[in-house]
Chain A
């Protein structure tokens, strides 16, 4: 792993939600994110993968400061994110969301949308604001005439370019991309991915790239973290992880990728029928009820924090 100082550092962050506050059901805590830690050097891309409900988006929202963490902390350049005011945080970290149809205010023009982070700073002169917006629009591949349009007049790909321009107009250090391509047509996905990769090189950005699409993550990430039930169960450099997955869950994820041959059907990854439930996390290894290799000790012994061969693999058997 890289030894340069971390651009972003997440330390043992947790988030619980309380549900079932009904007349008959007692409150049951749902542990959406259950102790996630990682450090990412500047200029790197950490891909976070996992199935729906594993806590990817909750993690993203906490890192963005949109959702308070139950415990733990996020540091950017060594400083705690929750000690900053909203303006300072906005200068350091920005989001790109999944659905460009809901991430742009339909009542505002492209120029207004992209200039919002600058306007929120409160000290950028109007003329300079316009100049920087235009420059950023050009950079994401939108012509100047788009500035006066409303989101409804744009295609999905163009909308996502606007969202990227908004995220980058303040020149943040870190961009959190929460499934930025999964709402787009396949033909547009590659364009947006290449744009993100290009902008990272040019502007020296650090990405947190959340996705359930393994091919996309393999393409863009330098390092990959696999999440299962609120924890990172395996983390390694992209090549290492894709070539030699150590955790049985990672192996199952990689095996679940559909082949282009329709005759082969949906691959059986050997995980059984049960679904992971964050309101009822199993004792011991949280993956053992679905694990094809599980032994008796997996039911009682926790593999939390195990490191094997220089990489995090939370599995007793790996």
Chain B
């Protein structure tokens, strides 16, 4: 029990830390993440042989400071994570609440939309988007945001179905409340805690997918310091300079684990609240 609370707190601290690092990246980064120094390529991190305090995490194949790129990379990851969840959350929650509340034909349409979405392969869509429109940060966010709403919709739909037949909804209708009031003030606050858990899962997924897409060259374009892109660019050098993929890899792992720990903790808190 105690351990679980500790894990939730740890997750929260990790997420908050990465978020703050992202926000204050210009103040924290010791170097310009884009500045190349071809005389100082592939310098190992400080604790390895040949490292120095000038570049704590070493440099990449173009002599850019790895720590600075990592710090600016937190920006990209958090930006993509948050904006994707906002976009997909808006779409999914709207569809799910409408389908769950009205049922019948409306629900049939929502269920059909969810089924359609689930049959769309994400990588294929990303590939098409890049082929047609080129790659950019905005496009990655839009692609992920427009595709990752299915879990929001499913959870919003089922929880709305549980809430819609409760007497306080009937009481609000009898009180003369508008439909907008009933959906936004009576239904939504009572399903929000479930959606919060989905949001953490989706955020972790979005961050991982961005890294995947960037690794495949379908995501954030170079020279932006995305963690996935850092791994992709470092993979040619990993046998002799393993830190170039280990550093962003471990960071990505820790952040995604932190988000998931936080989500697990929220879910447990919720369960305790309901009992």
* A98–B168 alpha-carbon span in the complex (Å): 11
**Partner pick for B177 among A95, A102, A116, CB 8 A cutoff:** A116
- Minimum C-beta distance from B107 to chain A (A): 14
With contacts A86-B176, A166-B171 known, what are 7 further pairs, Cβ within 8 A? A65-B173, A66-B174, A86-B178, A95-B171, A95-B174, A108-B185, A117-B175
Interface membership of B223, Cβ < 8 A: no
- Chain A residues, Cβ within 8 Å of B190: 105-107
User: Which residues of A does B touch, CB under 8 Å?
Assistant: 61, 64-66, 86-87, 89-91, 93-95, 97-99, 102-108, 116-117, 119-121, 163, 166, 170
CB distance from A159 to the nearest CB of B (A): 11
Q: Which residue of A lies closest to B190 (CB)?
A: A107
| Complex Cα–Cα for A106 and B187 (A) | 11
Contact of A87 (CB < 8 Å), options: B166, B170, B176, B185: B176
With contacts A105-B186, A105-B190, A107-B189 taken as known, whether A99 is within 8 angstroms of B167 at the C-beta atoms is: yes
B246 within 8 A of partner (CB): no
Name the A residues within 8 Å of B172 (CB-CB): 105, 116
CB distance from A91 to the nearest CB of B (A): 8
B178 contact set on A, CB distance < 8 A: 86, 120
Number of interface residues of B (CB under 8 A): 17
Given known pairs A105-B190, A106-B190, A107-B189, the reply for A121 and B170 (CB within 8 Å) is no
Q: How far is the CA of A242 from the CA of B219 in the complex (A)?
A: 79
Taking the complex as formed, is B4 at the interface, i.e. its CB lies under 8 A from any CB of chain A?
A: no
- 13 contacts across the A-B interface (CB closer than 8 A): A64-B170, A64-B174, A65-B173, A87-B176, A91-B176, A93-B174, A94-B174, A95-B174, A103-B167, A103-B170, A105-B172, A116-B171, A116-B175
B168 and A104 form a contact (CB under 8 A): yes
**In the complex, what residues of B have CB within 8 A of residue A103's CB?**
166-168, 170-171
Q: Which A residue's beta carbon lies closest to that of B186?
A: A105
Bound CA–CA A249/B265 (angstroms): 56
Query: Which partner residue on chain B sits nearest A169 by CB separation?
Result: B175
Give chain B's interface residues, CB within 8 Å of chain A. Answer: 166-168, 170-178, 181, 185-186, 189-190
Q: In the docked arrangement, what's the CA distance between A116 and B186, Å?
A: 11
**A121-B176 in contact given A105-B190, A106-B190, A107-B189 (Cβ < 8 Å):** yes
Q: Output the nearest chain B residue to A107 by Cβ-Cβ distance.
A: B189
- Contacting residue for B168 out of A61, A87, A105, CB 8 A: A105
CB nearest to B170 among chain A residues: A66
In the bound complex, residues from chain A placing their C-beta under 8 Å from that of B170 are 61, 64, 66, 95, 97, 103
Is B168 in contact with A102, judged by CB distance below 8 angstroms?
Answer: yes
What chain B residues lie within 8 Å of A86 (beta carbons)?
173, 176-178
CB-nearest residue of chain A to B169:
A105
Partner of B176, one of A89, A98, A99: A89
- Asked if B181 and A120 make an inter-chain contact with CB atoms under 8 angstroms apart, the answer reads yes
Residue of chain A at shortest CB distance from B178: A120
Question: Chain B nearest CB: distance from A176 CB in Å?
Answer: 8
**Are A117 and B176 closer than 8 Å at their CB atoms?**
yes
Most buried by B among A89, A91, A98: A89
Chain A residues lying within 8 Å of B189, measured Cβ to Cβ, are 105, 107-108
Q: Which residue of B has the minimal Cβ distance to A121?
A: B176
Complex CA gap A170/B177 in Å reads 13
Let me know if A120 and B176 touch, CB within 8 A. yes
For B171, the chain A residues whose CB sits under 8 A away are 95, 97, 103-104, 116, 163, 166
- Kindly list chain A residues whose C-beta atoms are within 8 Å of the C-beta of B176: 86-87, 89-91, 117, 120-121
**Would A65 and B175 be within 8 Å (CB), given that A99-B167, A104-B168, A105-B168 are in contact?**
no
Q: Report whether B175 and A97 are in contact in the complex, using a CB–CB cutoff of 8 Å.
A: no
Which residues of A sit under 8 angstroms from B185, Cβ to Cβ? 108
**A98 cross-chain contacts in B, Cβ below 8 A:** 167
B181 near A97: Cβ-Cβ < 8 Å: no
Of listed A94, A108, A116, A117, residue having the most chain B CB within 10 A: A116
Give the shortest distance, in Å, between A32 (CB) and chain B (any CB): 16
- Chain B: CB-nearest residue to A65: B174
State in angstroms the CA–CA spacing of A87 and B175 once bound together. 8
Q: B81 to chain A: closest CB distance in Å? A: 27
CA distance A94 to B174 in the complex (A): 6
Q: Which B residues are CB-close (under 8 A) to A121?
A: 176
* Cβ B175 vs Cβ A90 within 8 A: yes
Interface centre among B168, B175, B178, by most A CB within 10 Å? Answer: B175
Q: Which residue of B lies closest to A67 (CB)?
A: B170
- The distance in angstroms between the C-alpha atoms of A99 and B168, with both chains bound, is 10
Chain A residues positioned under 8 Å from B166 (CB to CB): 102-103
Query: What is the bound-complex CA distance between A61 and B190, given in angstroms?
Result: 23
Q: How many Å lie between the Cα of A95 and that of B168 in the bound state? A: 11
Give Cα A170–Cα B171 distance, bound, in whole angstroms: 13
| Closest Cβ neighbor of A84 among chain B residues | B176
Closest to A114 in B: B175
- Residues in B neighbouring A65, C-beta threshold 8 A: 173-174
- Say whether A166 contacts B167, CB under 8 Å: no
Q: List chain B residues, Cβ under 8 A from A90.
A: 174-176
The answer for the CA separation of A116 and B172 in the assembled complex, in Å, is 7
Q: In the complex the two chains form, what is the Cα distance from A65 to B181 in whole Å?
A: 18
Beta-carbon nearest neighbor of B175 in chain A: A117
* Residues of the B chain whose Cβ atoms lie less than 8 Å from the Cβ of A105: 168, 172, 186, 189-190
Q: How far is the CB of A301 from chain B (nearest CB, A)?
A: 39
